[in-house]
Amino acid sequence: MPFPELHLLRPHSQVGRVILAAAASVFAALLLVAWAPAWADDADAAPAEGPYFHVASDDPTLDRLPLKGTKVEARIVGPIADVTVTQRYRNEGSRAIEARYVFPGSTQAAVHAMQVRLGDRVLNATIREKQRARLEYEAAKKEGKTAALLDQHRPNVFQMNVANILPGDEVVVELRYTELLLPTEGRYRFVYPTVVGPRYHVAAKDGGTSGFPATPHLPEGQVSNTAFDLAVRFASPLPVSQLHSSSHRIEVQAEGSAQAEVALADDGEGPGNNRDFILEYRLSGASTAGGLTLYRGAPGQENYFLALVEPPQSIPSAQINPREYVFVVDISGSMHGFPLDTAKQLLRHLIGGLRASDSFNVMLFSGSNRMLAEQPVPATRANVERAIATIDQMRAGGSTEIVPALERIAALPKNPEVARTVVVVTDGYVSVEERVFQLVRKNLGNSNVFAFGIGASVNRHLIEGIARAGQGEPFVVTKPQFAQAQAERLRKMIDAPVLTSVKARFDGLEVYDVEPGRLDALPDVLGGRPVALFGKWRGEPRGQLVLDGRTASGDWQQVVPVAAPDADAQALRLLWARQRIQQLSDEEALVGGNAKRDAITSLGLQHSLLTQYTSFIAVDHVVRNPDPASAKSVNQPLPLPQGVSHMAVGAAVPSTPEPAGWLALLVALGLVVAGVVHARRHR
């Protein structure tokens, strides 16, 4: 019997009444599964546990946008960037406030200094154990003193609190960090993240334990009124060429010289703080600033080294064995629009480039997950076309339950004779990074796991951490036109790993505390990136570094002589400590809990580094606010990252229901059909 058309039914008939009542239930089900509530930034409401929308205050005495500007100055010497970030806060209201600002940083940043300027006074921050710093800050706030506290929530997410900013005050906070820039195929990239994307977060009342800070976001399309400026200066031993930014318009001076300079240019689209700043360049005359750099510490202090050894060129394998690919694709609400469109294009290139001897499967996940096939299917033309057609029909919606998705992948049966490659495609807007890393290490050790971050401001901590845990490589695709190149880069890596069975030894130079890991079992090199070794040395600077490995064509060796110590390489001390902290954090994530808290805290205090267990605290010892209890806390709102819709925050926008939602919808439709049949039988 054909399904009756609702507009032909008479509302007063028994059939019409049944169908209209059932249709109402269908409509209600659609509302339940396809619409999500929005958060409001209500000063009197309980603080949200996840991202929420900022609503402008109607209180004229309160300045709810205290961050007036951010200025970034980077100085790049060889492969090391020294970066100064200046945040300017001003209270333009008539009421004292505490400003709270959540902001991103580089995943490799070693944050080592903070300074606060209040009028003509300069406060140099000190590093403290995290809980002690928090107590000092709260005590200063209650006493009416101006104070600043810098915490780390993730290696790439920080929180600044500035207490007792009086009406008319201008407080300038200056942060300094250093990071190592490693080239890929001879091309360097400096990235400065500008905004923290809205993280999917499970409330504590629902069993969530991530502790990610609640962050207000501006509505989609609303431009931030916070000024943003950035400048990069080179002091390179080699001429700098091919300067290019794929994210912002830039002005370049002295390109082709060793002292090139880069500044942001006005593009007429606002301050540009809604996407990562990406600067690419080459050093002329060499594909990498390689070699062995030594730094000798002051008397009584330790010495440090950095070795950058360029790997050989990738050589195609004479025999490439069949592989199984599993593509794990995020289709949650935050992927709506530009991110999902980019992911589709990426997958078309990845799946379309498989060989007929390969097999593959695709998982789509949001609040729940499903596989496109019960078992991996051969990469025949017909199967590839069907998979791509299915992917093209995807729509984004729902939450981002990445852990259950990866647990299901880990439980998939595996043919021991076939190498498996897992490719995770997501924007990374979750707050369960450590659980993901632990899951990948413990359960996907028999696979290489590659992670593709999609979007203009992805969670690079998650993307890089997945790849590191899965012995793969991270990728970030910021625009659809870059998808094909990144897919091709992955294909080359998987087809022929550049260097395996990598071992290093130092002849004539006594070294210790080398990172990463053991010298006789270094990670495989999968792409055109140099091998980086950090460590300490003692005695006389002499001898050589010998690196051995295997390529597709046979044995390979490179010898690097030891050079005299460089007095300007003091950043190596911080970079070594940052690398060791990362290694300890990885080990902690593997075993769970706070197993490495003491070791990480000790390194942070010894080297004055921001970590998950240490914070920077600066306190003005002058009591400036006679009524600190009346001060109001203000959460500085963040712009939505470019290309991310308000569905990532939880706005009431229709989307594709979760698989569980479809089940509810089918039940409701079943009621309609049953009602029609019952009514017609009793007419």
DSSP secondary structure letters along 140-185:
HHHTTEEEEEEEEEETTEEEEEEEEE-TT-EEEEEEEEEEE---BT
Q: How far apart are CA 645 and CA 662, in angstroms?
A: 23
pLDDT at residue 318 tops 60: no
- Per DSSP, 198 falls in state P
Buried b (16+ CB within 10 A) or exposed e, 293-303: bbbbeeeeeeb
What ranges in 393-533 are assigned the alpha helix state H? 402-410, 433-443, 460-469, 483-495
pLDDT at 676: 47
Angle in degrees, CA 452, 529, 584, rounded to 5? 75
Lowest mean pLDDT among 174-188, 377-391, 445-459, 517-531: 517-531
pLDDT at 404: 93
pLDDT at 16: 54
Q: Write out the H or E segment, with its range, that includes residue 76.
A: strand 67-77
State the amino acid at position 387 in one-letter form: A
Superfamily of domain 323-495: von Willebrand factor, type A domain (3.40.50.410)
- The helix/strand/coil state of 640 is coil
Encode pLDDT of 548-579 as tens digits. 888 767 888 889 899 899 998 999 999 999 99
pLDDT at 86: 97
pLDDT at 78: 85
What ranges in 98-257 are assigned the alpha helix state H? 130-142
Q: How far apart are CA 615 and CA 134, in angstroms?
A: 8
CA distances, 591 to each of 37, 43, 148, 438 (Å): 37, 40, 34, 8
pLDDT at residue 48 tops 80: no
pLDDT at 285: 63
Q: What is the mean pLDDT of residues 299-310?
A: 90
**Order of strands across the sheet that contains 110-118:** 121-124, 110-118, 170-180, 80-90, 67-77, 227-234, 261-264, 250-253
pLDDT at 527: 67
pLDDT at 199: 82
Residue 399: pLDDT band by 50, 70, 90 thresholds? confident
Q: Which positions ≥6 away from 334 have C-beta within 8 Å?
A: 197, 198, 200, 396, 400, 427, 429, 644, 645, 647, 648
pLDDT at 532: 86
Q: Is the dihedral of CA 660, 666, 670, 671 positive or negative?
A: positive
Encode pLDDT of 419-444 as tens digits. 888 999 999 998 889 889 988 888 87
pLDDT at 7: 35
Residue 539: pLDDT band by 50, 70, 90 thresholds? very high
Whether the bond between 47 and the residue before it is cis, its omega within 30 degrees of 0, is no
* Mean of per-residue pLDDT scores for the chain: 83
Lowest mean pLDDT among 267-276, 314-323, 481-490, 495-504: 314-323
Q: Which positions ≥6 away from 170 have C-beta within 8 Å?
A: 88, 89, 90, 119
pLDDT at 314: 58
pLDDT at 450: 92
Q: Write out the H or E segment, with its range, that includes residue 559.
A: strand 554-561
Q: Bridge partners of 84?
A: 73, 176
pLDDT at 207: 62
**Order of strands across the sheet that contains 544-551:** 500-507, 544-551, 554-561
Angle in degrees, CA 415, 520, 301, rounded to 5? 135
Q: What is the mean pLDDT of residues 521-543?
A: 84
pLDDT at residue 25 tops 60: no
Q: How far apart are CA 498 and CA 339, in angstroms?
A: 31
pLDDT at 446: 67
Beta strand pairing status for 359-365 and 369-371? Answer: antiparallel
pLDDT at 531: 79
Domains 52-285+606-635 and 323-495 are alike in CATH topology: no
Query: Other C-beta atoms within 10 Å of 122: how many?
Result: 12
Q: Could you tell me the residue ranges of all domains in the chain?
A: 6-33+658-681, 52-285+606-635, 297-313+501-564, 323-495
Q: With contact defined as beta carbons under 8 Å apart, do 485 and 345 qualify?
A: no
pLDDT at 316: 55
pLDDT at residue 584 tops 60: yes
Query: Other C-beta atoms within 10 Å of 126: how many?
Result: 15
- Per DSSP, 526 falls in state -
Total length of the chain: 683
pLDDT at 111: 97
Q: Which positions ≥6 away from 417 have C-beta within 8 Å?
A: none
pLDDT at 4: 31
Q: What is the mean pLDDT of residues 373-385?
A: 91
Class of domain 52-285+606-635: mainly beta
State the amino acid at position 367 in one-letter form: G
Q: Global pTM? A: 0.81
Residue 291: pLDDT band by 50, 70, 90 thresholds? confident
